Amino acid sequence: MLLDPAEATARPVHGRTLAAVLVALYTGADGELRAVLTRRRGDLRRHAGEISFPGGRSDPADPGLLGTALRETEEEIGLPGADVEVLGALSPTPTIATSYAVYPFVGLIEPGREWKLSPREVEAVLEPSLRDLRASHARRRLWRRGVPFETDVYLIGENVVWGATARMVGDLLERVAPLLGDGSA
């Protein structure tokens, strides 16, 4: 079960910088529930080349963290906030290396969208089925700044989802498990 957005926003999470993302879902032509993620450009200062949900830092002009998620999603992939039916939220998630407190909101969108990618931020949009994400879950040894660590990952083709995004994917899969069939995440 998804969290109420107001309840999720009130939950404290470690991080100096407030941010929000949109976990946009839709039912594909194959009947599978699918998520919308982005591959960030490889030359960005923070989180370069990583797979993430569209979103970013909160701006003082945003009408709350949900407003941040919707604004950033429109800026990054051209999805207007008016085209999103907000269903709820996931647990807020910290980023370890960059000290962000990320608040994920879940919304339903219509399938068949043409994405308008921000040339400054987004290299590609990825639209995996939640069933495929769940099946791809693994523990892997990754390296960050020369230090090895073991972590949960999800695979989208050759793309590795790890870190805060992997924790959000895990939370999402747990919360929507009954919709995916066998009830396991």
Q: In the predicted model, what is the mean pLDDT of the chain?
A: 91
Model pLDDT for residues 94-146, shown as the tens digit of each residue: 987 789 999 999 999 999 999 999 999 999 999 999 999 999 998 877 666 67
Model pLDDT for residues 26-52, shown as the tens digit of each residue: 999 999 999 999 998 867 666 567 899
In a domain, 32, yes or no: yes
Contacts 24+ apart (CB under 8 A), 170-173: 170/137, 171/90, 171/91, 171/93, 171/104, 172/23, 172/35, 172/90, 172/104, 172/106, 172/130, 173/130, 173/133, 173/134, 173/137
Q: What total number of domains does the chain contain?
A: 1
Q: Round to whole Å and give the CA distance between 165 and 79.
A: 20
In a domain, 152, yes or no: no
Q: And the tokens for 31?
A: 């009947």
Q: And the tokens for 20?
A: 């929000």
Model pLDDT for residues 140-180, shown as the tens digit of each residue: 776 666 766 688 899 999 999 988 999 999 999 999 988 77
Q: Is the pLDDT at 91 greater than 90, yes or no?
A: yes
| Residue 89: band (very low, low, confident or very high) from pLDDT cuts 50, 70, 90 | very high
Q: What is the pTM for the complete model shown?
A: 0.91
Its domain, for residue 41, covers: 5-129
In CATH, what number is assigned to the domain containing residue 97?
Answer: 3.90.79.10
For residues 106-142, one letter each, b for 16 or more C-beta atoms within 10 angstroms of the residue's C-beta and e for the rest, the string is: bbebeeebebebbeebbbebebbbbbebbebbeeeee
pLDDT score recorded for residue 48: 62
pLDDT score recorded for residue 53: 98
Query: Average pLDDT, stretch 8-19?
Result: 93
In a domain, 59, yes or no: yes
In a domain, 166, yes or no: no
In a domain, 134, yes or no: no
In a domain, 172, yes or no: no
In a domain, 179, yes or no: no
pLDDT score recorded for residue 182: 57
In a domain, 167, yes or no: no
